[in-house]
Structure 1
Amino acid sequence: MDASVIVVGAGPAGLMLAGELRLVGIDVVVIDRLAERTGESRGIGFTARTMEIFDQRDLLRRFEKLATGTFAHFGGIPLDLGVLGPGHLAARNVPQSVTEAVLEKWARDLGADIRRGQEFLGLEQSADSVGIRVGTAAGEETVTARYLVGCDGGRSGVRQAAGFDFPGTPATTELLLADVRGVEIEQRMIPDGISGGMVMTAPLGDGVHRVIVAEHGAPPRRRAEPPEFGEVADAWKRLTGVDISHGELVWASAFGDAARLVTEYRRGRVLLAGDSAHVHLPAGGQGMNTSIQDSVNLGWKLAAVLRGAATDSLLDTYHSERHEVGRGLLLNTKAQSKLILGGEDVQPLRGVLGELTAYPEVARHLAAKAGGLDIRYDVGGGSHPLLGLRMPRLELAGPARSTSTTELLRTGRGVLLDLEGNAHLRRRAEPWQDRVDVVTARPAAVPGGSLLKDTGCVLLRPDGHVAWAAPGSRDDLPTALARWFGPPR
């Protein structure tokens, strides 16, 4: 074997997966057809959940000048993440090029083998391995591993070669995007009064503005090259009356509102993550953020199977958990697509929905969805309110030092948090001590500690989701440990 895992695609999903695998010692090869990173801005910013995930891996400090806030939106309708309580922040105006640079350095620092200028050509899968053909400047070669993960985007070659079904709806309209320097443009978020299409703008910093324009009736085109800036500027002037053609183009792209989701995230030893598994209108930056979260869900499970700590069936939970997330993603981005692209016909609906967000329960529901904070996995059932949800950052006071639930997850291992000093529970967890850190601490007297009120013990998966809690879980602790971390040793 050349590696335990081959990852095809060095975008955010592939690089995040490589880092997750290396964090726990799994050897991984990442191949990408591009000789170097594009430097294109693409997806900008992080949802509140991605911010939590990056903090769990101590990655936030690697981003310089990270501008954060509580603003989010659903189909252009403003939302305030503050309704979810303190500490829920999103990051604005972080170009994807910066995200890729940070994740690539992190993965390389951990020992990932990242090979650029190598194009995926095909694959062959056997009972115990998978091999891929790769085209390089020197010719064709074969790379073999125990598992292959396709993170190679919406037109994924891995998905096609492995025979995944990718049903859904084709694009019905085309949106043009340009990052422009040297123009003064007021910030717009799906404004009223625009007939014939939709426009949006956002400042990216350093004098650059992003403009997005869609004209009603503009059919989607299969482009070999990005649109010319003149095409974007002409459409912008037709809809707004404003001339931006004197600006300097930084980057341009075109995309559509196609919505597709694979029927399975795994076929034998081939798995998919990110846009390889789901494509949709990139409303609210959910595409890149969901892709990163796919990889965090998959990484620790793949590592556990490769180390022999867990059975192969653990990988089936990757499909069951993330396919449901993907299904919800398509539903909410389709709804947002109607709100964004519906023009004057949907203005009454936008008005009513805007009124509904004044109700706290509605605002919390949409803010959690926009922030990626509403995901609950099936972890066995029970009455504890946190079961299956992600554990937010909570400050903890331990016998030796203060810490937090976030810091405890930075090793990429599971965590059993003993909040009562329960020696019996700690003894029951000893057969899993090679995979799970047992920590005795109590919630610090700060806002948020009440989340663990009347809770004696919490088991956290490496991705930060609560797998078991006492009291309140249906299963006992050894059953939960065996389910998520394999049989005892």
Structure 2
Amino acid sequence: MVKLGEKSAGDRHVVIAGGGPVGLWLAAELRLGGISVTVVEERTEIDRRSKALTVHPRTIEILASRGAHRPFLAEGLTIPFGHFAMLDDRLDFRELDTPFPYTLFLPQARTEELLQEHALGLGASIVRGHRVTGFTETGRAVTVQVTGPDGAYEIEGAYLVGCDGTGSTVRTAAGIDFPGTPSTVLGRLGDVILDNPPPSGFSSFRDQGGVMVAPLPDGRFRIVGVGPDSLTAEWPGDLTLDELRRSTAAVAGDDFGMRDPSWLSRFGNATRLAAEYRRGRVLLAGDATHQHFPTGGVGMNVGIQDAHNLGWKLTATLNGHSPEALLDTYHAERHPVGSQLMEHSRAQTALMTTFTPEGLDLRALFSGMLATQPAFNLALAERLTGLAVRYPSTDPAAHPLTGTRAPDLALTGTDKRLFELLRPDAHLLLDLTPDGTLDRPTQGLAVHAGPLDRPPAAWRELRAALIRPDGHVAWAAQRDDTAEGMHSTQGSPWRKIVETGSGQSGERNG
């Protein structure tokens, strides 16, 4: 670990500003790759007021790819349906192609505790009650200014990653723009005791507004609502219990015996996306890159997925397996995902804040589509959960699987599945040739030779596939592709990807 106020040992140290779920997952990824890391968190302890309550299927897959998912599954409540814009009909997760066709209902405070235990167990240094205030960058390092209880000091690292929220100090200090639109809607949130709670999964939407009620593990309930009076850019003052009672009763016909709030808050729909995810030795992830209305419970999940994309790339760069240019692919791949997050959030916000007869008819039409069109329901569920994310190749001849997320394939000859073989410091080569002749050791490469056990249709005709450390396909070849170069120790596309560190290849074969 790096001692406070001292330089890091060598050039393999990363400073992370922000110890929320995103910063903690990134820290764990870097430690698994042998990288020294210091997480600087302003809060002295984990905030018990959980903004996020939902862990999506793709995030559970990410946890599973590092063997970190079991505590989450043990504690989280599995929910096979999800809401979209408070519509009456729900998204159905049961048909998703994943071992985890559900969301986990788990307060963010507990998610942070589990991720902190994971990161600390891997040797990450986490300092609380300290705040990153700025940095200076040289050609080979970044010196991070920090303020703690005993005053100011500096930490030197090879890179600084801002996981410090929408008001990111790191983003501001780096001069990275955060363009977007201001808030025009204010939602209501209250964590309260209910003497007469409604049935589980209760929600209601009328011309008077919309309200959702969800049970919390401590016996409280979370009430989230919007109404015609939410359509304002003016701050009406802090939310009161009386206002939450009145607005809830106006929609649901009952305030459910609401009392003893532990948290009352308003939240807006300001929507912004960082113009750059990387500038030199400074990178951003999570809420430091995207701000949006909290629709569908996706924000924390997209942030963890940012960290998962970035972690292996920093590891490969700092371990000398890849050139620094690999880090440029982080922005190229994740910025479009952030842009899509903005689009989906705005679309749901529009549906949640329309109270006219025309707007209510639009909601009814859209809700009916979810109920009667399974393909539409599935496509929307795949997008919301992150399972549909694909990092497209620039080569039009790329195999169709290139850039897609690899499923948890069953592998013959082992009792393990694909997720268990993924590592943050190595690509995984699936050698599906009959004689396993692609099985040659290469730095930064793990190999599994043998056929797949009952693979999905898209994988049945493959000759080989290279899986990135984050679980996305870097390269694939069909059975009927030419074998030239496939068995060579020089020049194979998969070998070039591993040796140069490029994210993926557009080539179909060797």
Contact 2:190 2:222 in 1 (8 A): yes
- The one of 467, 470, 485 equivalent to 1:463 is 470
Which deviates more, 471-480 or 247-256? 471-480
Contact 2:316 2:501 in 1 (8 A): no
3-state SS of 2:49 partner: coil
Amino acid at match of 1:278: H
What is the CA-CA distance between 1:189 and the residue it aligns to? Answer: 6.2
Aligned to 2:368: 355
What is the CA-CA distance between 1:254 and the residue it aligns to? Answer: 2.1
The TM-score with structure 1 as length reference comes to: 0.91
* 1:20 to 1:226, Cα distance in 2 relative to 1, 3 A: farther
3-state SS of 1:283 partner: coil
Aligned to 1:19: 28
Aligned to 1:426: 439
The TM-score with structure 2 as length reference comes to: 0.87
Mapped to 2, the partners of 1:411 and 1:150 lie a distance apart of: 20
Matched, 1:75 2:85: yes
Contact 2:427 2:498 in 1 (8 A): no
Amino acid at match of 2:333: E
- The one of 406, 409, 433 equivalent to 2:419 is 406
Which deviates more, 44-53 or 163-172? 44-53
Aligned to 2:391: 377
What is the CA-CA distance between 1:421 and the residue it aligns to? Answer: 4.4
Mapped to 1, the partners of 2:367 and 2:253 lie a distance apart of: 27
Contact 1:182 1:247 in 2 (8 A): yes
Contact 1:93 1:203 in 2 (8 A): no
Contact 2:86 2:210 in 1 (8 A): no
Aligned to 1:341: 353
- What does the per-residue CA deviation read over 1:156-184, in whole Å, with 9 as the maximum and x for residues that have no partner? 11111111101100110111211223431
Aligned to 2:294: 282
- The one of 50, 62, 79 equivalent to 1:41 is 50
Amino acid at match of 1:51: I
Contact 1:51 1:89 in 2 (8 A): no
Contact 2:321 2:499 in 1 (8 A): no
Aligned residue pairs total 476
Amino acid at match of 2:430: L
Task: Give unmatched runs, 5+ long, in structure 1.
Answer: none
What is the CA-CA distance between 1:81 and the residue it aligns to? Answer: 1.9
Matched, 1:156 2:168: yes
- The one of 141, 144, 148 equivalent to 1:136 is 148
Mapped to 2, the partners of 1:134 and 1:481 lie a distance apart of: 37
Which deviates more, 62-71 or 452-461? 62-71
- The one of 443, 456, 477 equivalent to 2:452 is 443
State the percentage of identical aligned residues.
37
Mapped to 1, the partners of 2:471 and 2:238 lie a distance apart of: 39
Amino acid at match of 2:77: A
Mapped to 2, the partners of 1:216 and 1:187 lie a distance apart of: 26
Which deviates more, 15-24 or 338-347? 338-347
Task: Give unmatched runs, 5+ long, in structure 2.
Answer: 1-6, 483-491, 504-510
- What does the per-residue CA deviation read over 1:373-400, in whole Å, with 9 as the maximum and x for residues that have no partner? 11110245445332211111111112xx
Map residues 310-321 of structure 1 onto 2, 5 A cutoff.
Answer: 310-321=322-333
Mapped to 2, the partners of 1:199 and 1:396 lie a distance apart of: 46
Mapped to 2, the partners of 1:281 and 1:62 lie a distance apart of: 29
Mapped to 1, the partners of 2:433 and 2:79 lie a distance apart of: 35
Mapped to 2, the partners of 1:246 and 1:424 lie a distance apart of: 67
Mapped to 1, the partners of 2:394 and 2:78 lie a distance apart of: 35
Matched, 1:291 2:303: yes
Map residues 267-278 of structure 1 onto 2, 5 A cutoff.
Answer: 267-278=279-290
Mapped to 1, the partners of 2:70 and 2:100 lie a distance apart of: 17
